[in-house]
Amino acid sequence: MNNPNARGLSLVSNWMDHMKERDQSKHTIDIYSRGLARFNAWLVNNTKHDITDADPSHLKEFRKSMINVRNYDARSINVWMSGIKNFYRWWIRKDEEFAGNLSGEVVHLPNPWDKVKSIKISRDNHNIHKRHVLSDEEVRALFKTCSGDKPKQLRDRAILGMCVFGALRVGEIWRINCGDVCTKEDGRGIIEIQSKGSKSKSDSIVLSKPLEEMIKEWRAVRDKTHEPALFICLDRVYRGDRISTRSIRQAIKDRFQQAGISGSPHNLRHTAITNAFRQGGSIYQIKIFARVSSYEDLLMYYHESSNAEKPIEYSIKYGLPEEGISRLGNSPATEN
């Protein structure tokens, strides 16, 4: 940080410790920290403020400066802004905890930082956010690496199922408790999900038959423990504890390596959402399934599903026969 005061240094240090406790990857922590450092340097050099007394209007000016003066790439600026907003979101939650301890009540403070929008990026460039979508053969190859009945195989199989049948993010999988898997009144199994950016489990996915079976098989061998998490550690040191996000990523990475495929958890999410498009789901259904905030965000996950395979034109029927339309009936006699 450029000329940070003691309070600023302490805040940044505690914020980074918080990210480590949440099992954020080193790469994410480094990028977010660099974004906050750039913002602080800009504040010191261009205003009479630093990160301890800045307000959202400064973030808007910082965004404008990075575009117009420094000419940085919009995607880089958006990542830096994500780190900055993450810092202030954490700080506000700390204030909420402090106020709640004083009052003995749950306190919710407004967060004006989240109202500062990222730079809108044109979706005309299909390379933006492009991820490899696995073929059916590659998905089957992944599941073959954990097709046995040992606890680790059953656990990893259910984790893979969460990704390819439910489009779940690693953080969403990490938050699932055993009690979140339940049955609705109509008999359908669901999983209640705490989505990205949400403070409560306000979303859900319907359990497909394969995923429901995978969860059932895993729960049959899961250690009996007071830990409510659905997915727990199986190693000697932390056995029975909630599995970390890092361990979930590693389990998926190991399965990719064993299958001889290059990929990541996010590739699996892209695969699930793209397959939902290919199966003819409505964009409204898929938006709910993908748990994204806007239709524009949803299109980032859409991969060209080869119009040659199933041209959309073929789905327009009107109940007419595909051949022999001339035999539907006689034309009016007055027509030439």
Rounded CA separation 108/55 (Å)? 19
pLDDT in the model for residue 108 = 76
pLDDT in the model for residue 140 = 93
Return the domain boundaries, the chain.
Answer: 6-115, 136-310
pLDDT in the model for residue 329 = 58
Of the options 1.10.150, 1.20.120, 3.30.70, 1.10.287, the CATH number for the domain spanning 6-115 = 1.10.150
β-pairing, 181-183 vs 203-206, is: unpaired
Please count the helices (runs of H) and the strands (runs of E) in the chain.
Answer: 12, 3
In one-letter notation, the amino acid at residue 157 is R
- Could you tell me the CATH superfamily of domain 136-310? Intergrase catalytic core (1.10.443.10)
pLDDT in the model for residue 306 = 46
Residue 27 C-alpha from the chain's centroid: 17
C-alpha radius of gyration, the chain, whole number: 25
**Pseudo-torsion of CA 103, 199, 263, 282, nearest 10°?**
-170
Whole-model pTM above 0.85?
no
Rounded CA separation 147/157 (Å)? 7
pLDDT in the model for residue 181 = 94
pLDDT in the model for residue 125 = 44
pLDDT in the model for residue 126 = 42
pLDDT in the model for residue 217 = 95
In one-letter notation, the amino acid at residue 223 is D
Contact call for residues 41 and 27 (beta carbons, < 8 A): no
3-state secondary structure of 305: coil
Low-confidence ranges of the chain (pLDDT < 70): 1-7, 23, 106, 121-131, 197, 302-336
Q: How many CB atoms lie within 10 A of CB 163?
A: 26
